[in-house]
Amino acid sequence: LKLLHTSDWHVGKTLRGQSRADEHEAVLAEIVEIAQRESVDAALVAGDLFETSAPTPEATRLVLRTLLDLRAAGAEVVVISGNHDNPANFEALRPLAAEAGIIMRGRVSRPEEGGIVDLVTRSGELLRIALVPFTSQRSIVRGAELLAGDAASNAGTYAERMRQVLDNLTTSFDTRTAVNVVLAHCMVRGGRLGGGERDAQTLEDYYVDPSAFGTVAHYVALGHLHLTQGLHAGSPVWYSGSPIQVDFGEEGDDKHVLVVEAVPGKPASAPRKVRLESPRHLRTLSGSMSELGALAAAAVSGASGGGLDAGTDGRASADALRIYVREKARAGLAEEVRAMFPNAVDVMIEATDGDAGDNGARVAPRPQGPAELFKAFLERRGVDDPRVESLFASLLDEATSAQPVEEQP
Ligand SMILES: [Mn+2]
């Protein structure tokens, strides 16, 4: 039995206001092609299909098209929501998706109400999947209660609640008769960030311990972290990573889908990484105007550029560039840089005190997100309390994710 594992598509993601629809079109078509070529029994999509909880019609069209194409390739298609997705929308689409042979879940459900699905795949094997869509701090108590069948005590961390949810969903796993898989969108302790993930939900409060997945699953297919990686656990626990470099923090990361083979009664072998060829690369350049000019010339001629890699493999023109200019600020400077690099999506001027060039700072400042700025603010105020940071992160997340505040039982 062969599984294709992908996640974190983030369709609808823009880069400094520029659409990335063409990148998404290309990479999702590539994933469908891999599913066809490998004749996979099932395609598992572990959340964050969309960038926002209110996707545009264009983003919706592409995601639905891709899911239908995966289904048409002969694969069972199983999808859960991530923290960027709208869980209520996923639940609303669920019956329509089911008609198309696509299993979709937005919320943790009892095993008999869709928390567990059994599929007889085209290879004739039984595939049992426990579905664990992203669950927020706010809804984890209800999720744990729902599955335990009684009121959970108010004590208990996010990690403990998630362990209860996973325990309840995986009790029916039977390694002799089925291939057992957990499909989840969450932050597992020990995972490495890719750089494009949203701050709040990678904090300590949202960690799940790898041991919570137990030892019975053949495979645990995770979404949330954008870097392809396996974790040390009792079962093979893997993040497929995102198919595109979602933000500049992921510069240089190769992107993959994972292909896993498993049969009942035997532990699964390690997943095979299938490298995605189509994604555009994100790249940061920095230098004075004369240094940047040399890089631009080298990129055009395909030669190597003076110690700064402008992309010498013929893809340079296709890269999306972030450029730090070390030069005295003057009117029209950013426009001059954009003229040199038509693929610049972000141009930042680092003003220098003296003459332009070698007197300028050598290190480009790291761009700071709201959480980092707030942390710096707390430091200046002499506040040392991780709970305040964590509260800020949750509030920021609520304000920016626009998830429905009310949760229906
Ligand atoms: Mn996520």
Q: Say which DSSP state 11 is in.
A: B
What is the rounded CA–CA span in Å between residue 94 and residue 100? 10
How far lies 57's CA from each of 50, 171, 296, in Å? 11, 40, 37
Q: How far is the CA of 359 from the centre of ligand 1 (A)?
A: 41
Interval 101-123 mean pLDDT: 94
Q: How far is the CA of 205 from the centre of ligand 1 (A)?
A: 15
Q: How far is the CA of 376 from the centre of ligand 1 (A)?
A: 25
In this prediction, what percent of the chain has a pLDDT beyond 90? 48
Evaluated on CA atoms 150, 156, 160, 161, the torsion sign reads positive
Q: Say which DSSP state 353 is in.
A: S
Interval 323-329 mean pLDDT: 88
Query: Considering only 207-221, 268-282, 316-330, which range has the smallest mean pLDDT?
Result: 316-330
Mean pLDDT of the chain: 85
At 57 the three-state DSSP class reads helix
Q: Is the pLDDT of residue 185 over 70?
A: yes
385, two tokens: 């309390």
Q: Which residues, in sequence order, are bridge partners of residue 215? A: none
Q: Are 304 and 298 in contact (CB under 8 A)?
A: yes
Q: How far is the CA of 81 from the centre of ligand 1 (A)?
A: 9
Report phi then psi at 327, rounded to 5: -165, 150
Q: How far is the CA of 384 from the centre of ligand 1 (A)?
A: 28
Task: Summarize pLDDT for 242-269 with one digit per residue, the tens.
Answer: 999 998 888 888 999 999 999 998 888 8
267, two tokens: 């532990």
What is the rounded CA–CA span in Å between residue 134 and residue 224? 9
Q: Is the pLDDT of residue 360 over 60?
A: no
What is the rounded CA–CA span in Å between residue 260 and residue 270? 7
| Residue owning tokens 């055009």 | 300
Query: Considering only 102-106, 190-194, 196-200, which range has the smallest mean pLDDT?
Result: 196-200
A 10 A CB-CB count for 379 gives 10
Interval 201-218 mean pLDDT: 83
Model pLDDT, residue 58? 96
What is the rounded CA–CA span in Å between residue 277 and residue 31? 10
What is the rounded CA–CA span in Å between residue 397 and residue 29? 31
Q: Which residues, in sequence order, are bridge partners of residue 220? A: 182, 237
Task: Summarize pLDDT for 39-75 with one digit per residue, the tens.
Answer: 999 999 999 999 999 999 999 999 999 999 999 999 9
Q: How far is the CA of 303 from the centre of ligand 1 (A)?
A: 39
What is the rounded CA–CA span in Å between residue 152 and residue 129? 25
Q: How far is the CA of 47 from the centre of ligand 1 (A)?
A: 7
Identity (one letter) of the amino acid at 110? R
Q: Is the pLDDT of residue 405 over 50?
A: no
Q: How far is the CA of 185 from the centre of ligand 1 (A)?
A: 7
Q: How far is the CA of 402 from the centre of ligand 1 (A)?
A: 14
391: enclosing H helix or E strand: helix 386-401
Task: Summarize pLDDT for 214-237 with one digit per residue, the tens.
Answer: 999 999 999 999 999 999 888 999
How many H helices and E strands in the chain?
Answer: 9, 19
What is the rounded CA–CA span in Å between residue 407 and residue 260? 35
Model pLDDT, residue 18? 86
Q: Is the pLDDT of residue 114 over 60?
A: yes
What is the rounded CA–CA span in Å between residue 5 and residue 220? 10
Q: How far is the CA of 351 from the centre of ligand 1 (A)?
A: 36
Q: How far is the CA of 7 from the centre of ligand 1 (A)?
A: 9
Q: How far is the CA of 267 from the centre of ligand 1 (A)?
A: 28
**Confidence band (pLDDT; 50, 70, 90) for 111?**
very high
Q: How far is the CA of 380 from the centre of ligand 1 (A)?
A: 31
Identity (one letter) of the amino acid at 151? A
Q: Are 99 and 71 in contact (CB under 8 A)?
A: no
Q: Which pTM was predicted?
A: 0.82
Length in residues, the chain: 409
Q: Is the pLDDT of residue 357 over 60?
A: no
